[in-house]
Amino acid sequence: MVKFAMLVWRNLRRSPRRTILTVLAIALAAFTYSSLSSLPNVTRQMLSTPDSARRIVVMSDSGFFNRLPDSYQRKILGVPHVVAASGMVYFGGVYRGPSDQLGIAVDADQAELMWPDWGVTSVRAGEFRASAMACLVPGAMMRKYGWHVGEQIVLKGTIVPVDVTLRIADTLGASAPPDTLLFRRDYLERSLGVPPTVNAYHVMLDRADSVPMSIAAIDEIFSNSAAETRSQSEAAWVSNFINLDTLFAMLRAMAILVVAAVALVALNSVVIAVRERRAEIAVMRAIGFSPALILYLTVAESALLGLVGGTLGCAATFLIAKILPFAFLPLGPIDLLAIISPGVILQAFVLSIAIGAVAGLIPALGSVRRPVVEAIRAIG
């Protein structure tokens, strides 16, 4: 076995440039597949948690930036199956530069019931309620800006014409969207000094199967009012900002095209390598090497290329996954996608090995099926 391993290693070193380029091509395929394929899986997982399935969003029928009155909250809380309702004002403040867009003002007394899946525990909710300047920050944002619990930060208003000074009371859980900084709506209203209004209401229901009837009941209450509402499930509301189905179809197509192109590159590389070794393979068969053994050695050589390429590609994916949340926050709903699924990483790794193995199998089969005498005669 060792001598066969040495033979495979020698063949890989025969053309270092071709070996390196093939490995890099397969690494690119693994990186592209794992990156793009993770996005739909993770997003669906985040939007299909039991708590997310019970949440609906109520906003103006005229659009997100047309405000709703603060008085709607009491009426929404009176609808059957509603257990919590929090007004939401998109602040979009600047911390370092115009791309920051940080801050969502919510009702502190509703946070624990509203976002348990975001890690808003009773302890964190208590800290949030304890101070008017308190805010809850996701871990990715804490690491990006180098913040720590207890630190005081200032967000400069752009959409809302006021700056707010906040104190980080605690972090949100790992499942919270990495660009969602929560602070208190009552504090924002006092800073503005105007009658309170909201961009939308987040509503938590007692069970998921009550979503359709609750949506209908809420919209019925405010029909024919000065500010009619359009209520949706949380997943449907997110899709208003970005067409997830279209995006995911494009990502799948891109991943498939890249993998197919790399498979052809790998196949071409191995075909050339096998063709260059026709004389060597003919001699090996003449001195007693079985077709099965030659086939095994060729496939092992190309599968090794896939193994190395897959390892590099998956490692690059993990590295990018750690960098992205800090380098590109916030990107709106896209930020929810900057997480890599371990299952897809495993698929990409197996796919890389499969690309290498199949690329070696096809030319190897053609080589070993040729009669020995004919192979020797063909090489001279």
Domain boundaries, given as residue ranges, for the chain: 2-46+244-378, 62-227
Predicted confidence band at 245 (pLDDT cuts at 50, 70, 90)? low
In 37-101, where do the E strands start and end?
55-60, 68-69, 82-93
User: Are the C-beta atoms of 68 and 198 separated by less than 8 Å?
Assistant: yes
Calculate what percentage of the chain has a pLDDT beyond 90. Answer: 35
Q: If we measure between CA atoms, which residue out of 218, 118, 96 comes closest to residue 172?
A: 118
Proportion of the chain in helix, strand, coil states, percent, rounded to 5: 60, 15, 25
Structure tokens that stand for 280 in this block: 């060597």
Spatial distance between the Cα atoms of 233 and 311, rounded to a whole number of angstroms = 40
Spatial distance between the Cα atoms of 302 and 74, rounded to a whole number of angstroms = 67
**Can you give the pTM of this predicted structure?**
0.65
Q: How far is CA 281 from CA 9, 16, 32, 149, 223, in A?
A: 16, 20, 35, 67, 81
Q: 231 — phi, psi (to 5°)? A: -100, 145
pLDDT in tens, 79-93: 999 999 999 999 989
When mean pLDDT is compared across 114-118, 226-230, 327-331, the lowest value belongs to 327-331
> Average pLDDT, stretch 47-57?
81
When mean pLDDT is compared across 126-140, 201-215, 356-370, the lowest value belongs to 356-370
No. of helices (H) and no. of strands (E), the chain: 15, 11
pLDDT of 238 strictly over 90: no
Report CA 87 to chain centroid distance, whole Å.
28
